[in-house]
Structure 1
Amino acid sequence: MKKLLAGIFLLSAVITNAQTKVSGIVVDEAGAPVPFANVLFKDSSEGTITNDDGRFYLESGNNFPTLVISFVGYATREIDLEKKVTYDMRVVLQEGEQLKEVVVYTGKQSKKNNPAIDLLRKVLERKRKNGVHGFDQYRYDKYEKVEFDLNTIDSSLIGSRLFKGMEFIFDQMDTSRITGKTYLPIFINEAFYKVYGDNKLNKEKQKLTGNKNSGFDTNQNLISFVQDLYSDYDIYKSYIKFFDKSFVSPISRVGIDTYNYVLTDSAYVDSKWCYNIIYYPRRKNELTFKGDFWVSDTTYAVKKINLQLTKSANINWVKEIYMEQEFDVLNDSVFLLTRDYMMSDFSLRKKEESRGIYGKRTTIYDNYVFDEEKPRSFYNEEVDRFNEQIFKRDDVFWEENRLEALNKDEAGIYKMLDTLKTVPKFKRLYSLGEILASGYVEIDKWDMDYGPIFSTFGYNDAEGVRIRGGGRTYFGPNDMWRIEGFGAYGFRDKKFKYGISAKWLLNRQNRLIISAGNRRDIEQIGVSLTPNNDVLGRSYASSSVFTVGSNDKLTDINLTTADVEMEPLKNLKFKVGGSFRTLSSALPEAFSLDYVDPDSPTGISSQVKQLELTTSIEFTPGRKTVGYGVERRDVNDEYARLYLNYAKGVTGFLESDFDYEKIQFYFRKPWSVGGFGRLYTTIEAGRTFGAVPLGLLSVVPGNQTYFSIFNTFPNLDFYEFVTDTYVSMHLEHNFNGRLFSRLPLIRNLNLREIVGIRGVWGELSDENKALNQPTNIMLRAPSEKVYWEYSFGVGNIFKVLRIDFNFRGNYLGLPDARRFSVTGTFGFHF
């Protein structure tokens, strides 16, 4: 009965959603698959090419009686289609006469005297003259539709316990025109934009006027993931970037050295005579595509292109990527992008039968207008990101602005999700996903969340085993205010710790926020050169159960902060505030914070009380965020961060001990280096004016854990170097498998090579050495020469593990100096 039910659903999807569907495999007379063969409906431009295994799937909303299959060197086959739906065809191509109008190439193609590459070079010469770049100004409408689908639906899944009570959702099943697999739509998001650009000013502005999705409008995690996943791309650029990777574009000069190109056909496409070029990669395991494109014979503009991820590409959790772009003729010399389609098949395994999730994006461009000049102020004016009406548009708005109508299944997602949200079992599954994604357990009736659950257990030498529980107010993702807190208990020191923080967004336009908090805890200070007064961050002291050597340099800290910040310009933030902290050693016998104090009866003090006033500027150009409440989420991670902080220590007030000034600078930037991966850079510099105790000095961040932590020195112990003046640089480059892909014995493991180098120079004044003379810590700064380390790492081991081999470059003669260490980390990366 279950199989019959599945068959009925599949038959219903077939009948209602497409007129002609075909799938199968193309082989030669010996039975070997024929990759990259052309598969088209006769007398149309609707077609595809076979994949590496010779398989294909093709569908159309029109009725076609004949299928045409061809490949250079073989006789063309025309196959009559007796039914609207024909699956699992086996087509045998016989060797025959070669096409007269093209030159035939096989295997690796020469770049000399290749007509396909000659055409490509003409395309590249004209690329800036085609599209919107050929005008001074432009504007157009942009409609974007993003959909997620559960794929590889079969009777066993339909009848599984997971979907018991939710069987009605399978009424929405359909079949992919790319892969031929059944799928179930589970999410859809629609957006409509007005886009303006000025090529003389090099400015572009996108104005979102409408946004709608199927029941997850408050899920900021999902929305930010969607926006980051499907960013716009340009086929004419050397690299197409998505999934945090840079794929070589076949329409680029870099592509000439990366792909084989074959001129295979010529025909009229929408009344324009065009040439068809097939491309495929020269080497395996690189971030490349395969597919074909049509080029106009007069403008040398791309009329149509499809790009499909090669199976050997070094990318995780993605089984398929397929993209299409279509261009329309404005006049004899201008082609404009009209439709962009992208589909990804996410799966834990790359086996054909494994289930996964389709992520699909369709973008339609229309209503182009050119040479309407607008003043520079128009482009500098900030788009109102806080208009809630944008997310509440009615059906009339979407009927007028939806540039491509929803099909039956897409329209049904809205109704299906509304019904599904009333099913208790779905609510439980959705809540579980939310917990794993955010780390918080939502408690609706109290408008609060419990968590983060990942900080529940810890261990350190002072507290022993430590447990922690906490929570936050949560009325929605765009709350104007939020209160958070935690409580913790150490079973060795038998002490209770806590933290509480509150923040309030007073003005959304300039993001005026006031915040305050207090924390009483055990902490490992000196793990970062750049200051951090976060009263609720997870204690570094308890974040690792296993450490190298003794982890006893811990501080008992009581920190109170208050701040005011604002963002008058996008991504430019100003902050003023103050903090008062009390510092003392958590393990005085092993780690001393003693300093000379003439006012103390013994001449020595062990506790620091300090009031500090701070002013900071932070600039993050290119940063994209989602949400408009007191807390926002980043959409991207490739932006730069520049941070400048000035601190003034005040003496006397509230028994504050020291008078000093401190200035610190921080710069971080990830750089995409085309096909050679990504380079991460960090530069820090700072100086403290005046004498201060050890607890207020700048400690070079060591790392005694077994985890790879960027911006620390894994071969340094905590407090091995202490400075009042410092300059530090960290460089780490991930080649994303570029080098390993050249090695035959390991290329199929899809490993990724990482290299790093880091160094720091610093000084410690005689005045500070004299003040801190009573401490039992060796006060030493890397002033004679720059301290440096280097590392070699192997990433993507079993797709989740990275191991780094770290080497100490100098200062090898210091007591207990660690010359070598091995660290590692886990993570899910594409």
Structure 2
Amino acid sequence: MRLDRVILLSIFFLITWSASAQRTVVSGRVTDASTGDPIPFANVIFKDQSTGTTTDFEGYYKVEIGLKVDSVLCSYIGYKAKVKPIKYGQTQVVNFQLQEEVATLQEVVFIAGENPAYPILRNVVANKPINDKKSLNAYQYETYSKVEVDVDNITDRFKKKKFVKKITQVMDSVEQIAGEDGKPILPVFISETISQFYFRNNPELKHEKILKSKITGVGVEDGSLVSQFIGSSFQEYNFYQNWLNIVSKDFVSPIADGWKLYYDYDLLDSAMVGNDYCYRLDFYPKREQDLAFYGTMWITKNEYALKQIDATVTKTANLNYIEKIKIQQELTKTEAGAWIPTKNRILLDIGEITENMAGVLAKFYTSNQDIEVNKPFENKFYEKPIVVAEDFSIGNTDEFWESKRHEPLSPTEMSVYRMIDTLKNIPIVKTYTEIINIAVNGYKKFGKFDVGPYLSIYANNTIEGHRFQLGLRTNSDFSNRWIFGGFLAYGTRDDEFKYNGFVKRIMSRDRWTTIQAQYTHDIDQVGLSAEDLIGYSVFLTATKFGNLVRPYYYNQFKLIAQRELFKGYNQKITFNYRTFDPLYSFAYRTEPESMDSPLEREIQTAEVTIESRFAKDELFIQNENDRISLGANKWPIFTVRYTRGIAGIAGSDFSYNRMGVNIQKDLRLGLFGTSNFDISAEHIFETLPYPLLKAHIGNESTFFSQAAFNLMNFSEFASSTYASLRYNHYFEGFVLNRIPVMKKLKWRLVATANVLYGYLDTDNLNLLPEFDENGVEVQQIGRLTDDPYVELGYGVENIFKVLRVDFLHRLTYLDNPDASKFAVKFSFQFIL
């Protein structure tokens, strides 16, 4: 061989070997341009090559190749693909920020044969009893939780607002938070929490102990309240359950038992995910208005278990103000076979309520470690679902959190802490924070005292004229054991001062135990008593305006003691002394058996009430000196009440016995919506004047109220024995989502039914004379006969997102004076 050929051939092989030895290594992170959150499971490949990888749960990737390449491509479902140039033969960092792709959901069509995804899904459902974490006797783990709330959609128009201009200095650094290609966001809250979470089955019980919390936020003062919400208890989503409750709405899982009714599927790929060979399935709602997800999930080939899922709800769903809900989850198999989520990320994107407002992003992240299974504790251990350690805010040093975080903070998150510290000290921000706190809590805080509630500051009615009221109470800065408060009111027409004073002692927070004494002098109405409208503050406030129905002055002294004896069971004892001084024509016979007996107008009563309340799975949180119920989950709430009236105490006139019961329950019916019912019954054993009986709450206004019988007149009926049912059903989008023209409006059907059986003994009516001692005709009271009072209603809510219209029909007692057979009533509600 000629020497020149040998040399040329050698050079050729040298060049070829050199080229193959040069490897291009690219690593980086893929994030959402709108939120800054990482995008797990995204595809990253070299352009025009098959070599690539997927991002991990934190959005990181690393890929390398020995061939000559000049660019790398990143893509993921729901996002616009993006290409970036790279340098051949070098190790480099390339980050991607992907923009969401606004597109209608694709239609999935199979020409012949069965969809290949269907056998996989049938196996997933069949293996739920093995793979679902709730199949375990118990499990526990350490949880690291991180919550961030940001203001987004910050437009130039929003920046020009007067109050926004005053935070320009902070806004100038927004671009750094958003990132290279991202949209500007303004953080207002960030928190980190370390907790220990416990679950046991049969009975199903949960317990979470918040060990440490680090909280920084605009307007956040009491870390103990916030700490109860930022653990894992409120961020736990189990796709093995048929329905996931998010923002008080039920969303159907893509692996629900009835998956075929709600979703279409694509089997796109199979690949190794970690150590498991998995099928990749993309899923889409059959109707885009339904409360369902679209996204991608990975199902293991051997166990048919959910390995990873990325599920999104978009603004096409029948929700208000919600632009997007995204849940990303990574699961790990336990030694017992069931799979437990080890990483969760939830995004809640709330859109602009009006064009002049910005939006809000709420981002939640949890990581679970040190998982132990099938080691249940005694039931007593789980009595309190959420407990905050006394030293939860002590020792929150940077060194502590660096050692405890399951994942380190990103540079962006470290900047968030600094920005919030700056933002919350700006005077205009403090002012708006105070306004929001007043709107939510009803009180304005002044050091150790709260002034309010604002709903009661002013009223105008036929008895008092202009009524002005100012209330005051102490807060936890004054004492976390003693609470003092009261109000002073004045009416310009009756020239009468009204007042209230109370003192409350918290004896125990562990088993919530309180003692309270109060004295009140005020005005009230028969059938519209404030005590009967607790929990309906707006309707109660409305009753203070206009014409007062059967008004009376009263003096009342109450002594209340209550204690949670064990989880879910609360015992209360009340002593109540009350006077009745009517401001309308009223009198009663003091001797019912004699038609000529002396007449009286005023009434004094002294009574002792014993009340037992059982709510098996009711969840409470403690807010400073209050305990707030978040409702029960599966079980009804039962209340039994016995009252003994005692004559002779401080001039009290009557001895009597009354027994009552109440049952409340919310029913989640999945596809068909949500129902709730309230059943009440009571019996009074003695003969009493009707102000001491049950005067049923009517509603003569044009506004709908769940506290009243909406087609019943004020004080139309009273009963000594009664049973009532209030039933409400919310169809969500079940019907209207299926009507092409209506589904775009996002209206929702509602239905109501109010039924009342009541009885008023003739002896009770005989207590009322026709005329009083001055010859003035006495106002009588109506009663129910053998037929029940029935009203049915149907309507539409979510009109313009805030308006509800109810069409109501009264079916019985139509011959009563001024009875309305039909009415259209309105109400305003802020709902998702």
Equivalent residue of 2:650, what SS? helix
Structure 2 unaligned regions, length at least 5 = 1-26, 35-40, 47-51, 65-70, 88-93, 772-777
CA offset at residue 475 of structure 1?
A: 3.7
Q: Which residue of 2 aligns with 1:690?
A: 686
Equivalent residue of 2:393, what SS? helix
Q: CA 1:573–1:156 in structure 2 vs 1: closer, same or farther (change >3 Å)?
A: same
CA offset at residue 210 of structure 1?
A: 2.1
Q: Which residue of 2 aligns with 1:235?
A: 239
Partner amino acid, structure 2, of 1:147: E
Are 2:428 and 1:432 aligned?
Answer: no
Q: Summarize deviations over 1:622-675 as a string: whole Å, max 9, x none.
A: 222222654122345657432111111111121111111111111112221113
Q: Which residue of 1 aligns with 2:503?
A: 502
Cα distance in 2 for partners of 1:586, 1:824 equals 31
CA offset at residue 335 of structure 1?
A: 4.1
**Which stretch of structure 1 is more off in the superposition, 798-807 or 517-526?**
517-526
Partner amino acid, structure 2, of 1:489: Y
Q: Which residue of 2 aligns with 1:279?
A: 283
Partner amino acid, structure 2, of 1:662: R
Task: Give the one of 402, 407, 411 matched to 1:408.
Answer: 411
Q: Which residue of 2 aligns with 1:729?
A: 725
Residues 591-610 of structure 1: matches in 2 within 5 Å?
A: 592-596=586-590, 603-610=598-605
Cα distance in 2 for partners of 1:539, 1:354 equals 26
Q: Which residue of 2 aligns with 1:709?
A: 705
Are 2:136 and 1:128 aligned?
Answer: no
Cα distance in 1 for partners of 2:732, 2:630 equals 22
Q: Which residue of 1 aligns with 2:303?
A: 299
Q: Which residue of 2 aligns with 1:626?
A: 621
Structure 1 unaligned regions, length at least 5 = 1-16, 25-36, 49-57, 92-104
Q: Which residue of 2 aligns with 1:781?
A: 783
User: Taking structure 2 as the reference length, what is the TM-score of the superposition?
Assistant: 0.83
Are 2:568 and 1:587 aligned?
Answer: no
Cα distance in 1 for partners of 2:228, 2:768 equals 48
Q: Which residue of 1 aligns with 2:222?
A: 218
Equivalent residue of 1:582, what SS? strand
CA offset at residue 158 of structure 1?
A: 5.7
Q: CA 1:176–1:273 in structure 2 vs 1: closer, same or farther (change >3 Å)?
A: farther
Cα distance in 1 for partners of 2:96, 2:388 equals 50
Partner amino acid, structure 2, of 1:364: S
Q: Which residue of 1 aligns with 2:775?
A: none
Residues 534-573 of structure 1: matches in 2 within 5 Å?
A: 543-544=542-543, 551-573=548-570
Cα distance in 1 for partners of 2:232, 2:45 equals 36
Asked which structure has the greater CA Rg, the reply is 2
Cα distance in 2 for partners of 1:232, 1:468 equals 44
Equivalent residue of 1:328, what SS? strand
Q: Which residue of 1 aligns with 2:573?
A: 576
Q: Summarize deviations over 1:394-432 as a string: whole Å, max 9, x none.
A: 335433332222222323444443444433332222112
Cα distance in 2 for partners of 1:307, 1:476 equals 44
Q: Summarize deviations over 1:186-242 as a string: whole Å, max 9, x none.
A: 211222222334446644433322222115251677667767994422111111111
Task: Give the one of 805, 808, 817 matched to 2:807.
Answer: 805
Equivalent residue of 1:403, what SS? coil
Q: Which residue of 1 aligns with 2:470?
A: 469
CA offset at residue 479 of structure 1?
A: 2.8
Are 2:314 and 1:310 aligned?
Answer: yes
Equivalent residue of 1:257, what SS? helix
Cα distance in 2 for partners of 1:288, 1:539 equals 34
Q: Which residue of 2 aligns with 1:343?
A: 347
Q: Summarize deviations over 1:736-760 as a string: whole Å, max 9, x none.
A: 1221111222211111111011111
Are 2:609 and 1:614 aligned?
Answer: yes
Please tell me whether the aligned partners of residues 503 and 630 of structure 1 are also in contact (alpha carbons under 8 angstroms): no
Q: CA 1:280–1:383 in structure 2 vs 1: closer, same or farther (change >3 Å)?
A: closer
Q: Summarize deviations over 1:144-181 as a string: whole Å, max 9, x none.
A: 11110111345665675424454454446566799953
Q: Which residue of 1 aligns with 2:53?
A: 44
Task: Give the one of 641, 656, 660 matched to 1:660.
Answer: 656
Cα distance in 1 for partners of 2:828, 2:233 equals 21
Cα distance in 1 for partners of 2:405, 2:162 equals 38
CA offset at residue 495 of structure 1?
A: 1.9
Q: CA 1:229–1:427 in structure 2 vs 1: closer, same or farther (change >3 Å)?
A: farther
Cα distance in 1 for partners of 2:612, 2:552 equals 28
CA offset at residue 464 of structure 1?
A: 2.9
Q: Which residue of 1 aligns with 2:519?
A: 518
Q: Supply the RMSD in Å over aligned alpha carbons.
A: 3.8
Cα distance in 1 for partners of 2:457, 2:489 equals 9
Partner amino acid, structure 1, of 2:608: L
Partner amino acid, structure 1, of 2:55: E
Task: Give the one of 259, 273, 278 matched to 1:269.
Answer: 273
Cα distance in 2 for partners of 1:236, 1:499 equals 52
Q: CA 1:730–1:174 in structure 2 vs 1: closer, same or farther (change >3 Å)?
A: farther
Please tell me whether the aligned partners of residues 176 and 182 of structure 1 are also in contact (alpha carbons under 8 angstroms): yes
Q: CA 1:154–1:724 in structure 2 vs 1: closer, same or farther (change >3 Å)?
A: closer
Equivalent residue of 1:409, what SS? helix
Q: CA 1:717–1:645 in structure 2 vs 1: closer, same or farther (change >3 Å)?
A: same
Q: Which residue of 1 aligns with 2:798?
A: 796
Cα distance in 1 for partners of 2:82, 2:416 equals 38
Are 2:671 and 1:675 aligned?
Answer: yes
**Which stretch of structure 1 is more off in the superposition, 595-604 or 551-560?**
595-604
Partner amino acid, structure 2, of 1:286: D
Q: Which residue of 2 aligns with 1:28?
A: none
Q: CA 1:792–1:551 in structure 2 vs 1: closer, same or farther (change >3 Å)?
A: farther
Please tell me whether the aligned partners of residues 751 and 793 of structure 2 are also in contact (alpha carbons under 8 angstroms): yes
Identical columns (%): 26
Q: Which residue of 2 aligns with 1:66?
A: 72
Cα distance in 2 for partners of 1:291, 1:144 equals 24
Q: Which residue of 2 aligns with 1:11?
A: none
Equivalent residue of 2:616, what SS? coil
Partner amino acid, structure 1, of 2:372: V
Q: CA 1:147–1:68 in structure 2 vs 1: closer, same or farther (change >3 Å)?
A: closer
Cα distance in 2 for partners of 1:510, 1:88 equals 50
Please tell me whether the aligned partners of residues 459 and 543 of structure 1 are also in contact (alpha carbons under 8 angstroms): no
Task: Give the one of 230, 249, 255 matched to 1:251.
Answer: 255
Q: Which residue of 1 aligns with 2:116?
A: 115
Q: Which residue of 1 aligns with 2:141?
A: 140
CA offset at residue 38 of structure 1?
A: 8.0
Cα distance in 2 for partners of 1:752, 1:799 equals 10
**Which stretch of structure 1 is more off in the superposition, 450-459 or 408-417?**
408-417
Q: Which residue of 2 aligns with 1:720?
A: 716
Cα distance in 2 for partners of 1:68, 1:785 equals 71
Residues 181-220 of structure 1: matches in 2 within 5 Å?
A: 181-199=183-201, 202-215=204-217, 216-218=220-222
Equivalent residue of 2:804, what SS? strand
Q: CA 1:789–1:231 in structure 2 vs 1: closer, same or farther (change >3 Å)?
A: farther
Are 2:768 and 1:772 aligned?
Answer: yes
Q: CA 1:667–1:276 in structure 2 vs 1: closer, same or farther (change >3 Å)?
A: same
